[in-house]
Amino acid sequence: RRLVLRWQMPAGDLRIFMLAEGQPDCATMKTVNLAGIAEVAGEDPEPEFVAFNEAGEIAVTLQENNHIAIVNAETGAIVAHFSAGSATLDKVDTRKNGALSFDGKIENVAREPDAVKWLDNDRLVVANEGDYKGGSRGFTIFSKKGEVLYESGPSFEHQVANAGHYPDDRNKKGVEPEGLETGAFGEDRLLFVASERGSVVGVYKDTGAEPGFVQILPSGIGPEGLVAIPSRNLLVTANEADLVEDGLARSHVMIYERSEGPATYPMITANLTADGTPLGWGALSALAAGDTAGKLFAASDSFYANAPSIFEIDTTQTPALITGKTIVTRDGHPAQKLDIEGLVADGEGGFWLANEGDPAKLVPHAILRVDDKGEIKLEIGFPTELLAHQSRFGLEGITAIGEGDDLTLVMAVQREWADDPKGQVKLLAYKPKAKEWSAVRYPLEATEAGWMGLSEITTHDGKLYILERDNQIGDLAKVKRIYSVALDAFKPAKLGGDLPLVEKTLVRDIVGDLKSASNGYVIDKVEGFTIDRNGDIFVATDNDGVDDSSGETLFLRLGNISAVN
């Protein structure tokens, strides 16, 4: 025989205090019993968030109960209550599968609101974060009688995805809106919706009907609390996640100032597809120039393992606009075992791709050639002379010099392999016509912490340009630099023998550019770099698919190379 005890926590309630000299007066406490009003687990109310209006009424959300109550603050009486109801979401991503596909549908999902704010004395807005099985991924405006005045549906999630912040690795509840704030800024009443999983804040203008989308603000990881300070044109967010043990960003507060002029973020966004859904992008790991000024291409890395992609970018617009997406395929299906870390146009509508291998995951170190549809037409594996010393830190960038039978592909290896002297990495060369491999060694900067490596390589006007970086963030970041190597001095030698050490020249230290772009905080993963047909320099950061990352993609325009050199 066994005695089983089940401990039931007390039912949640609402406590109201008067203030005396700015402090709660415990002697004035009123307790509002919220039990019995909700249809879902009514005997066990779980209040989540409260908000006051100017009429002395309190809105309180009962998230797990999917319910909202309106309470008279003076008397403590419940003057209205209603179910938060449900929503049907069409054209949303419902699978955590390493691909962004906004073709799913969720029917009659409970809203389960978290934060609540009043828009005026008669309208309130809730963020439908969800708990357990619920969460409708957006926000809803109710009358205080419970009438649905506006339902965002998937539109907020689509805006987040267009900015590259969709969190595929945490896909159960989509972007998970949790925090809310409202404020009157001049003649505009603004609504701020914080996406905990997308690490952004959506800004909307209250119109009295359908809110007008204004912009997306980048945030720290997991924004929850928001405070508007309209008198100073400020918004403040508190960001929950603390990743110090992983050497990543700590929890922190961010401050935004509203000002005139175009939004500073996002720096790159995407077109919608023909059916009105997000194109889906993130984790940009490489950049390459197109055949006209302002036209670039980018690739996503292994974070989106089931949809490795090449993106076309129009940089003549601000923000830069991703206008097309091509899935890399093998035998007509999305190619597996890819980690694209470099690309360069092949001159025939297709691309040469650099694939960073990982022996532990059976991902090969390789060069791939794809056609204009993204189909893999050629796979070139590493020779035994390289594989005998391999590690998982392989190719990070590819470029091309020469043409026809003289075409040579040049690839940067990120970090030292077993046969490399400490502080030196290889620049590999491969001639497709002759099927010949060769290499030089490249000297890395010393590092005070973490590691140093290469992230990208391109060629322009007689020089190789190489992006070198440490893996540090914030004030610890010391090296995010562009170096050049003269092609006249690039004399690769046969593998297996002594390899010549090239001489590099500093072109630009971009730590300052990164600080300016983020107003002081340096992001680690500067992975994309290229020079377009006009000689203009572009740099992009990899947002790791918003996984343990703020999700920010910085897309920097550093001017013309002729002015930098």
- In this structure, are 72 and 207 located in the same domain? yes
- Rounded Cα distance between 288 and 239, Å, is 34
Containing structural domain, residue 144 = 13-257
Contact 416, 433 (CB under 8 A): no
Side chain identity, residue 258: R
Domain of 405, CATH number, reads 2.120.10.30
Read off φ and ψ for residue 25, nearest 5 degrees.
Answer: -100, 105
pLDDT at 565: 64
Q: For every residue of 350-390, which 3-state class applies, written as one string?
A: CEEEEECCEHHHCECCEEEEECCCCEEEEEEECCHHHHCCC
- Rounded Cα distance between 495 and 338, Å, is 25
Asked whether residue 555 is domain-assigned, the answer is no
Last residue of a domain, one of 257, 275, 303: 257
Q: List Cα–Cα distances, 277 to 90, 162, 271, 280, in angstroms.
A: 10, 9, 9, 9
What are the strands, taking DSSP E only, across 40-97? 47-52, 57-62, 67-72, 78-83, 86-92
pLDDT at 360: 92
- In this structure, are 309 and 223 located in the same domain? no
What residues does 119 pair with on adjacent strands?
none
Give the number of domains in the chain. Answer: 2
pLDDT at 5: 45
This prediction's pTM: 0.94
Contact 203, 188 (CB under 8 A): no
Side chain identity, residue 253: V
Asked whether residue 310 is domain-assigned, the answer is yes
Contact 229, 257 (CB under 8 A): no
pLDDT at 171: 64
Read off φ and ψ for residue 274, nearest 5 degrees.
Answer: -60, -30
Give the CA-trace dihedral at 249, 253, 257, 263, to 10 degrees.
30
Asked whether residue 277 is domain-assigned, the answer is no
Last residue of a domain, one of 239, 257, 275: 257
- In this structure, are 494 and 379 located in the same domain? yes
pLDDT at 519: 85
Asked whether residue 262 is domain-assigned, the answer is no
Contact 411, 391 (CB under 8 A): no
| pLDDT of the chain, 565 residues: tens digit per residue | 444 444 456 789 999 999 999 899 999 999 999 999 999 999 999 999 999 999 999 999 999 999 999 999 999 999 999 999 999 999 999 988 899 999 999 999 999 999 999 999 999 999 999 988 889 999 999 999 999 999 999 999 999 999 999 998 766 789 999 999 999 999 999 999 999 999 999 999 999 999 999 999 999 889 999 999 999 999 999 998 887 777 777 888 999 999 999 999 999 999 999 999 999 999 999 999 999 999 999 999 999 999 999 999 999 999 999 999 999 999 999 999 999 999 999 999 999 999 999 999 999 999 999 999 999 999 999 999 999 999 999 999 999 999 999 999 999 999 999 999 999 999 999 999 999 999 999 999 999 889 999 999 999 999 999 999 999 998 899 999 999 999 999 999 999 999 999 999 999 999 999 999 988 789 889 999 999 999 999 999 999 999 888 899 999 999 999 998 6
Q: Which long-range contacts (CB under 8 A, 24 or more apart) does 230-235 make?
A: 230/183, 230/184, 230/185, 232/257, 233/185, 233/257, 233/258, 233/259, 234/258, 235/181, 235/183, 235/192, 235/201
- In this structure, are 186 and 307 located in the same domain? no
What residues does 399 pair with on adjacent strands?
410
Last residue of a domain, one of 213, 242, 257: 257
Asked whether residue 447 is domain-assigned, the answer is yes
Burial class, 170, CB count within 10 angstroms (exposed 0-12 / middle 13-18 / buried 19+): middle
Contact 555, 312 (CB under 8 A): no
Query: Which residues are within 8 A (CB) of 118 and not within 5 positions of it... i.e. 6 or more apart?
Result: 51, 52, 53, 59, 124, 125, 182
311 closest CA partner among 321, 290, 297: 297
Query: Which residues are within 8 A (CB) of 410 and not within 5 positions of it... i.e. 6 or more apart?
Result: 398, 399, 400, 401, 427, 428, 429, 457, 459, 464, 490
pLDDT at 170: 60
- In this structure, are 243 and 356 located in the same domain? no
Task: Please identify which residue in the block is written with the tokens 């490399």.
Answer: 420
- In this structure, are 308 and 419 located in the same domain? yes
- In this structure, are 501 and 461 located in the same domain? yes
- Rounded Cα distance between 339 and 441, Å, is 23
- Rounded Cα distance between 158 and 410, Å, is 38
| Coil vs helix vs strand at 250 | coil
330 closest CA partner among 301, 362, 307: 307
Q: Annotate 189-221 with DSSP letters as a single string.
A: EEEEEEETTTTEEEEEE--SSSPEEEEEEE-SS
Quote helix, strand, coil % in the chain, to nearest 5. Answer: 10, 45, 45
Q: List Cα–Cα distances, 126 to 15, 25, 40, 50, 62, in angstroms.
A: 21, 29, 18, 11, 11
CB atoms within 10 A of CB 436: 14
For strands 252-257 and 234-239, give the pairing: antiparallel
- Rounded Cα distance between 341 and 542, Å, is 11
Contact 107, 312 (CB under 8 A): no
- In this structure, are 294 and 199 located in the same domain? no
- In this structure, are 313 and 195 located in the same domain? no
- In this structure, are 357 and 234 located in the same domain? no
Q: List Cα–Cα distances, 82 to 63, 148, 194, 479, in angstroms.
A: 12, 11, 24, 56
- In this structure, are 215 and 305 located in the same domain? no
What residues does 536 pair with on adjacent strands?
560
Asked whether residue 487 is domain-assigned, the answer is yes
- In this structure, are 107 and 226 located in the same domain? yes
- Rounded Cα distance between 544 and 304, Å, is 10
